[in-house]
Structure 1
Amino acid sequence: MPGEAHISCLFPEILAIIFGYLDVREKGRAARVCRAWREASYHRSVWRGVEAKLHLRKANSSLFPSLVTRGIRRVQILSLRRSLSHVLQGMPNIQSLNLSGCFNLTDIGLANAFQHEIPTLIVLNLSLCKQVTDNSLWKIAQYLKNLESLDLGGCSNITNTGLLVIARGLHGLKSLNLRSCRHISDHGIGYLAGLSGETAKGTKQLEDLVLQDCQKLSDNALMSVAKGLLKLNNLNLSFCCGITDTGMINLSRMPSLRELNLRSCDNITDIGIAHLAECGGHFTTLDVSFCDKVGDASLGHLAQGMYNLTNMSLSSCQITDDGLGKLVRNLRSLTTLNIGQCVKVTDTGLALIADNLPRLRCIDLYGCTKITTVGLEKIMQLPCLSVLNLGLWHKR
């Protein structure tokens, strides 16, 4: 109608605010509507925090200038058929580079790309780049000195020598993922902790460390972690079968440690959980799923010592309604409780949960074969519950 404002009359700054709420694909479509929208869509605020996902195939002279103009500094390479150096030359202020799953990436390819210091790059993901070896870590430590996050998950050729290189050169590292780096041993963790005495200061700023499926690690590695990595907040030891109850003594004395994953650590028992709980008031998240030597006694220890827990995973543990009762009566701040495949839990246990955990938002009951609609009705009355996983549960 006459007199009504049309969207084309909006100031570019207003259009940019609107475009900022669109997903990446819609942002691109908006840029093709008209010249005014194109100019507005190139405002840096529209693309703040966006990660460009690229297939590096044939040459495209306008690609990187376009990304730089929009202020995009995070890139994920989905497939790599050209030299990686094109990315780093085209985006001199790159902040995050994700190469996860680029199976054809080699040490030579990384060496050609990292030829000078890149002070802006703080996040590098090389997970599942299976041809990468310790040789690449020399280049990374030399030219990416400001790196804060390094993901080497699945890089099975990385050894303790590579960890020594990291400990010598990447002192600002806050997050390190070494999942399935099966050559890593206690000695390598000693390097990271700065305890080796080989002129390696260590990664003293580490807050997040993933050691999942590192089969050569023992309790000695945890002693090094406790002595040297005093800022560690999150530690993942899942599937580390060499870790035992003794190692839990050291972890319980790390006041910075908040989240601990012991999933499928077969040698952790009720005794280890007792060690953790003795000084465990600092923990907020604990996962002991598939630790089949953890039972009701552990829940009693947790109830007395880990009074700040909000997330608890006990899937497939040997627990009963009695143990659950001890846990939920004392840890009333729990928001997530995973008890899937705990086949001894019945409606009585669900009633105890419903009566004592008013803040519960998420519960996993997959494979709990002894529960019925009676118990579920009680659970579903919880005021904050938003996620309920029943899996293949059949109505009884």
Structure 2
Amino acid sequence: MASEAAGLARGARRRVRVVHPAAAQTRSAEDWWWDRLAPSGSGYHLLQSDSMLLVLPGPGPARLRAQRRAARQARRLRSPGSRAVEAKPSSAPTPLQEPDPGWGDRVPLEILLQIFGLLVAADGPIPFLGRAARVCRRWNEAASQPALWHTLTLSPPLVGRPAKTGAKAEKKLLSSLEWLMPNRFSQLQRLTLIHWKSQVHLVLKLVSESCPRLTFLKLSDCHGVTLDALIMIAKACPQLHSLDLQHSMVKSTAVVSFLEEAGPRMRKLWLTYNPQTTAILGALLGSCCPQLQVLEVSTGLNHNIIPFQLPIEALQKGCPQLQVLRLLNLTWLPKPSGRAMTPGPGFPSLEELCLASSTCNFVSNEVLGRLLHGSPHLRLLDLRGCARITPAGLHDLPCQELEQLYLGLYDMSDRLTLAKEGSPLLTQKWCHSLRELDLSGQGFSEKDLEQALAAFSGTLGCSQLALCSLNLRGTRVTPGTVSSVISSCPGLLYLNLESCRCLPRGLKQAYRCPEEVQWCLEQLLTSLPSPS
């Protein structure tokens, strides 16, 4: 019995030594590092986040790990086996403080709105705002501000499924929009609807009731757009000035009625050509949109069969403020000018003209002259597929500061091109301003191309060369000509030499960065014969 009592006493003494107050004061390595990073009395404290360690000014919160460690030690002291020998601590433990809410709640709401606004301007509100709203209450409050939801694209899920399933998905999304439109999208400015088949008129009704600041509306692959819906949008959104109806089934009568209601303020209009487009163009010729700046009429490749006529002079009178005109992949048959017809007023503000086509094209030098005789500020000219245009006709145009010229092939790379000449007329006129030049598939001879591209060597008085993109695909350009152009144009970022039969093997490819272009120059210089 005496030996057992002695053993119990030794065990009690060991337990007392383990929980002695002096042992609780020993500092761990973690505490040492915390004190080194933010010493006590320095006016700074540490705050641990998910992926960073922040040093913040001011008094800091209690260290949670140290608190949890002290709590565990206190529980061990109060365990049943050590109640008889428990040593009372010298002082009461520090009460646990409330956990720090995090730095997200400390940022003022105005600053968060500015930060979110920059991100939304760069990448759009989706999916960033939806994710930010789940971070904390402060972020949710910021992400819910209607001012951030100024651009939106809505597409019902399950696209491509059976019609019944798609209609059910549209109704489900529509029920959500009934709350979102007045509470989140009240300051919406740009709206795009894609693949709506049955409920698009109800969505437009919600937009007209809750989004008076709408300026841009795009309906892509939408069915069932009614006359009443468009008229409702035109009346309820007085700032609406841009309408995109490409690839949507909309009756021409609905579009004409919309233009009659909102035409005086319309700035941009996108259409897909169909037999009903003639009525819409007739409304434009009647000066219903005198402030129109962008007009695009296009169709899919190999979809346009019936040519349509467009009187150039009437369009110039009906849309005098036009800045961008795109007639893409259309069999456009311009009406003849006639002997007694006076030239039109032209497009004095026109900066971009695109007539690219993969079908039979009737655009000639005479038609191009009628279009551009009053357009001295033209910057972009896309004539891909216009085989009747010659360099002499381009040289006579009044524009002197052309920056982008596209004369290549448009979706007809395998078509045989006829021999041409006169390319030096183009580069000698615009070598000082051209940034992008496309001569792909043109039948200029080796000598003709050499003289044309020599304009970029600086020998013809062009002190500042802006050329950064050159497409010579399928031409007869020679290695010496290419190396001269690369050496003379240090800002060249894109060079296409595919299918150039006069170049050595291994170099017939597209180069899409300055490093690749310089590598091409090095290979060309090594392949050229040394001068005797």
- The TM-score bracket by the shorter chain reads 0.7 to 0.9
Q: Taking structure 1 as reference, are residues 380 and 124 closer, same or farther at Cα in structure 2, changes over 3 Å only?
A: closer
The code of the aligned residue for 2:435 comes to T
1:87 to 207, 226, 232: 207
2:389 to 268, 273, 278: 268
The code of the aligned residue for 2:379 comes to R
3-state DSSP of counterpart to 1:286: strand
Is the CA contact 1:212–1:237 (under 8 Å) kept in the aligned structure 2? yes
1:357 to 465, 486, 489: 489
Does 2:179 match 1:62?
A: yes
Task: Give the superposition deviation at 1:164.
Answer: 2.9
CA deviation string 1:261-304 (max 9, x = no partner): 1110122234433434xx44232211111297676633211122
Does 2:139 match 1:37?
A: yes
3-state DSSP of counterpart to 1:353: helix
3-state DSSP of counterpart to 1:63: helix
3-state DSSP of counterpart to 1:366: coil
2:325 to 205, 209, 212: 209
In structure 1, how many angstroms separate the alpha carbons of the residues matched to 2:441 and 2:343?
28
3-state DSSP of counterpart to 2:441: coil
3-state DSSP of counterpart to 2:195: strand
In structure 2, how many angstroms separate the alpha carbons of the residues matched to 1:290 and 1:43?
48
Please name the residue that 1:170 is paired with. Answer: 289
Q: Taking structure 1 as reference, are residues 107 and 27 closer, same or farther at Cα in structure 2, changes over 3 Å only?
A: closer
3-state DSSP of counterpart to 1:177: strand
Task: Give the superposition deviation at 1:28.
Answer: 1.0
Please name the residue that 2:4 is paired with. Answer: none
Is the CA contact 2:307–2:333 (under 8 Å) kept in the aligned structure 1? no
In structure 2, how many angstroms separate the alpha carbons of the residues matched to 1:117 and 1:224?
42
3-state DSSP of counterpart to 1:235: strand
1:312 to 437, 441, 451: 437
Is the CA contact 2:423–2:448 (under 8 Å) kept in the aligned structure 1? yes
Please name the residue that 1:52 is paired with. Answer: 153
Which segment is superposed worse, 359-368 or 145-154? 359-368
The 5 Å alignment of 1:237-248 reads 237-239=355-357, 241-248=361-368
Is the CA contact 2:473–2:496 (under 8 Å) kept in the aligned structure 1? yes
Task: Give the superposition deviation at 1:123.
Answer: 1.3
Task: Give the superposition deviation at 1:126.
Answer: 0.3
In structure 2, how many angstroms separate the alpha carbons of the residues matched to 1:25 and 1:309?
39
Is the CA contact 1:179–1:210 (under 8 Å) kept in the aligned structure 2? yes
3-state DSSP of counterpart to 1:57: helix
In structure 2, how many angstroms separate the alpha carbons of the residues matched to 1:380 and 1:92?
44
3-state DSSP of counterpart to 1:92: coil
Which segment is superposed worse, 168-177 or 60-69? 60-69
1:16 to 113, 117, 121: 113
In structure 1, how many angstroms separate the alpha carbons of the residues matched to 2:455 and 2:132?
54
3-state DSSP of counterpart to 1:230: coil
Q: Taking structure 1 as reference, are residues 225 and 3 closer, same or farther at Cα in structure 2, changes over 3 Å only?
A: farther
Please name the residue that 2:20 is paired with. Answer: none
3-state DSSP of counterpart to 1:97: strand
1:192 to 288, 311, 315: 315
In structure 1, how many angstroms separate the alpha carbons of the residues matched to 2:276 and 2:251?
7
The code of the aligned residue for 1:64 comes to M
CA deviation string 1:301-349 (max 9, x = no partner): 112222322211111111344333323332432121112232x234233
Is the CA contact 1:329–1:356 (under 8 Å) kept in the aligned structure 2? no
Q: Taking structure 1 as reference, are residues 57 and 215 closer, same or farther at Cα in structure 2, changes over 3 Å only?
A: same
CA deviation string 1:233-281 (max 9, x = no partner): 11111126111122343436521222111110122234433434xx442
Q: Give the paired residue count.
A: 370
TM-score by length of 1: 0.80
CA deviation string 1:140-180 (max 9, x = no partner): 23235311111013445210x32231242211111011124
Q: Taking structure 1 as reference, are residues 106 and 360 closer, same or farther at Cα in structure 2, changes over 3 Å only?
A: same
The code of the aligned residue for 2:472 comes to I
Q: Taking structure 1 as reference, are residues 235 and 225 closer, same or farther at Cα in structure 2, changes over 3 Å only?
A: farther
Identify unmatched segments of 5+ residues in structure 2.
1-33, 35-44, 48-55, 57-102, 157-168, 411-415, 457-464, 521-532
In structure 2, how many angstroms separate the alpha carbons of the residues matched to 1:322 and 1:219?
38
Q: Taking structure 1 as reference, are residues 302 and 247 closer, same or farther at Cα in structure 2, changes over 3 Å only?
A: same
Please name the residue that 2:24 is paired with. Answer: none
TM-score by length of 2: 0.61
Q: Taking structure 1 as reference, are residues 217 and 42 closer, same or farther at Cα in structure 2, changes over 3 Å only?
A: same
The code of the aligned residue for 1:351 comes to S
3-state DSSP of counterpart to 2:495: strand
In structure 1, how many angstroms separate the alpha carbons of the residues matched to 2:332 and 2:492?
37
Please name the residue that 1:198 is paired with. Answer: none
Please name the residue that 1:391 is paired with. Answer: none
In structure 2, how many angstroms separate the alpha carbons of the residues matched to 1:98 and 1:236?
21
Identify unmatched segments of 5+ residues in structure 1.
195-201, 389-396
3-state DSSP of counterpart to 1:348: helix
